[in-house]
Amino acid sequence: MTDFNSLSFIVSDIMLSLQSFYYVNKFFQMPKYTLSVNNKQMSVEVDADTPLLWVLRDQLNLVGTKYGCGVAQCGACTIHYNGSPVRSCQFPVSAVGNGKVVTIEGLSENGDHPVQQAWIEMDVAQCGYCQAGQIMAAAALLKKNPNPSDEEIDTTITNICRCGTNVRIRKAIHLAASKGGKS
Ligand code: FES
Ligand code: FES
């Protein structure tokens, strides 16, 4: 027969195990974030320092945003954050807060943003890898400066294109600007 002392040992053992389970579980649990992406609320559970780029690509399957360098140099991962261009490879998910994130998938309903149309008309893309970032950077520029000079384009859009499409990018930005490209 179990006496009172053994019973209290068993109970305190169970309590300790439950407590450790709670803390271990809490330790390994990822924080949860609700993000506004392309005008939709989306929830993810990831480490606080996860770059937004990987949240977009791996958690939300928005793979239009590309990984190039991972150190905020190439611009392949450019998205809009509250309307400004941001290099998402160096932007931790914990910094997003209530800000609005727009990716290339959300720039326009049917891929018909004036910048996208100008890109098609000028046949800008070569391999295409950098182009989502270029388009996002160009759209953000035209929103701020509807008629940029060549110099303003060159100093603002520092995205790298290894295929050397920069001349066509500049022409396409002027074309989009001539058609009221900030919308
Ligand atoms: S991948 Fe982000 S700037 Fe290159
Ligand atoms: S089009 Fe190939 S890297 Fe820009």
Within a domain: 4: no
Same domain, 102 and 134: no
Domain count for the chain: 2
| Residue with CA at minimum distance from ligand 1 atom 3 | 72
Same domain, 85 and 102: yes
Residues 122-133: what's their mean pLDDT?
A: 98
| Distance (Å) from CA 148 to ligand 1 centroid | 24
Within a domain: 11: no
Same domain, 95 and 128: no
Cα separation, 178 vs 173, in Å, equals: 9
CB neighbours of 143 closer than 8 A, spacing ≥ 6?
83, 182
Query: Which bound ligand lies closest to the C-alpha atom of 90?
Result: 1
Task: State the residue range of the domain holding 49.
Answer: 29-107
Same domain, 58 and 91: yes
For the chain, the C-alpha Rg in angstroms (whole number) is: 24
pTM for the model stands at 0.86
10: pLDDT confidence band, cut at 50, 70 and 90?
low
Within a domain: 7: no
Please give all residues whose beta carbon lies within 6 A of any atom in ligand 1, as ranges.
67-70, 72-77, 87, 89
Same domain, 58 and 78: yes
- State how far the alpha carbon of 59 is from the alpha carbons of 50, 71, 136, 154, in Å: 11, 21, 21, 34
pLDDT of 23 strictly over 60:
no
Query: Which bound ligand lies closest to the C-alpha atom of 162?
Result: 2
pLDDT at 29: 79
Question: What atom of ligand 1 comes closest to residue 77's alpha carbon?
Answer: 2
Are the beta carbons of 115 and 76 closer than 8 angstroms? Answer: no
Q: Which CATH number belongs to the domain containing residue 181 in this structure?
A: 1.10.150.120
Last residue of a domain, one of 107, 135, 164: 107
pLDDT digits (tens, 9 = 90+) for 65-91: 999 999 999 999 999 999 999 999 999
